[in-house]
Every structure is written in structure tokens, then in C-alpha cells.
Amino acid sequence: MRVFRFCIKALRSSVTYISVTLYTLVIGPPAIMLALVFRSPVVLYWTGYLGVRLAFRLAGIQVQSSGLTQIQPQRVVVYCANHTSNIEPLVLFLLLSPHYPNINILYKAGLRKIPILGLAFKLGGFVEIERGNREQSNLAIDQAVVSLREGSSFLIFPEGTRSQTDELLPFKKGGFIMAVRAHVPIIPVAMYGGRAVMRRGSALLNPVTVHVQFGSPISTRDREFADREELIAETKSVIEDMLGRWKSSRPLTTSE
């Protein structure tokens, strides 16, 4: 029985990889050309949106969310999420689509090297931040503050990299500084189950349910730069509490 389940999982993973590759090769080039001609990321955005939905459907990945009433396109916020796998940005890419085109990402500089993704980020006006380069980081935060004040919400992963355990890594300060400077609220986002989609060292995709919870807004109205550590601690505590409730009630398993 175990061998049979492994074969089914391997077949499903292969179909997903092949289908997404074909989708990218067939749809990607025309989408890139249109994006370059019109200097707009709209085509790339919806091409990516449909591609992610296709991949999730084929791989058997489901998303169970709560607190969706916190997603209000007319309200400018900073969404702050934990990060354990590459699946979380894709899940939030789908869930935050009501904000489009007024949604930006604070992303690591290395991601610009990924051909289609790097182009989409550039055309979309997303903000690149280079860890370890204080001057560039300050300029990136300045750019993000301008975008927030002009009406674009932001998505950040303050850990800066994927956690290999269920514990949160230390939060970077940049996203919180820009929220304080722009005086926009922070929405804590807890995600659980993403790490089980693909086990470390394996290319097999597991059909799992990724749980997402959007917490209540944390106000920055009366906060100042000096309050950033307190704001980080409060946000981290809320995310840890939401994750803790899941860990105690929903053991992390994969669907067979």
C-alpha cells in the first residue's frame, strides 16, 4: 500500500510539473511581450494567478482561510506573514488578489534574477531590499513609504527567509519602520501547513491543506520610530498565538 501511495504521489507531482511547465512555455512569452509593449504587469499578474490556481488544483493543495473580512481593498495596510516554505507567497498571491493593482511586495534582491518573476516585480513597482546594505535598505523603505502614502498596501515576510522549524525566526525591522512612518495598520497573518507541501530534499508534492488566518489590525497611529521593537514584539506574539492554536488542534499531516 505504501508503494502504491508513493507511485500515485509521484504521478501527480509529475503531471503538475509538466502541466505548469507547458503553461509557462505557451502562455509566458506572449504575456511577457504584452507586458513589455504596454509597460504594465496586468497580463503577467493574471497569467501568474491562473498558473498558481492550476498548479494547486493538480497538486491537490487546498487553502483554508479565516479572517478574510480583514482584506479590505479600500484600506491601506501592511500584511505581515510567517514564512516556512515557498508555498506561502503563492497562497497569499491568490488571497490578496482583491487588492490588485494596489498591492506591493517588499522582496529580497536575489529574486530579481528569476527571469519572469523579476520582470513582473519590476513592472509592478514592487520594492527590492538588499539585506546587509544599509544605504539601499533605507532607500527601499523610503520608496515603500511613498507607495503606502499613495494608496498601495504591502505584503512582507519579516523573517527574511524560510524557517526550517515551527518556530518563528527573528523579525527584520524594515517592514515595521515603513508602517510606522506611513501610519498604516499591520495585519498579522499566520500560515500553517505549507512546509508539508514539499519535504526537504524531496521533489514530490504532497496534497495538503494550507491554513491561513488574518488577524485584527494593529494600529500604528500613535507609534513612533522608537516604538518599532514594541510593535515587532506585539505582531510576533499575535502570529505565535494563532499558530499555537493550530498546532494544538490540527496535527500537521499530508493527505494520502
pTM, 2 dp: 0.90
pLDDT in tens, 94-139: 999 999 888 999 888 777 777 777 777 777 778 888 877 888 888 9
Strand order in the sheet with 78-81: 62-66, 209-214, 186-192, 78-81, 153-156, 103-108, 127-129
Owner of C-alpha cell 499613495: 150
pLDDT in tens, 220-242: 998 998 999 999 999 999 999 99
Which of 153, 154, 158 has its CA nearest to residue 170?
158
Q: What CATH number does domain 61-249 carry, 3.40.1130.10, 3.30.2350.10, 3.10.20.30, 3.40.50.280?
A: 3.40.1130.10
In DSSP notation, 135-166 reads HHHHHHHHHHHHHHHTT-EEEE-TTSS--SSS
pLDDT in tens, 83-92: 988 899 999 9
Query: CA–CA separation, 158 vs 106, rounded Å?
Result: 9
pLDDT in tens, 163-219: 877 789 999 999 999 999 999 999 999 999 998 998 777 889 999 999 999 999 999
pLDDT, residue 77, reads: 97
pLDDT, residue 151, reads: 94
Cell triple for residue 105? 511586495
Query: CA–CA separation, 217 vs 70, rounded Å?
Result: 8
Q: What angle do CA 7, 10, 16 make, to 5 degrees?
A: 140
Is residue 254 very low, low, confident or very high in pLDDT (cuts 50, 70, 90)? very low
* Dihedral sign from CA coordinates of 230, 232, 236, 238: positive
> Which is more confidently placed, 40 or 244?
244
Contact at 8 Å (CB) between 231 and 122? no
pLDDT, residue 75, reads: 95
Which of 32, 12, 155 has its CA nearest to residue 92?
155
pLDDT in tens, 7-57: 888 999 999 999 999 998 899 889 888 988 888 888 888 999 999 999 999
Query: CA–CA separation, 164 vs 96, rounded Å?
Result: 25
pLDDT, residue 252, reads: 47
Owner of C-alpha cell 544605504: 135
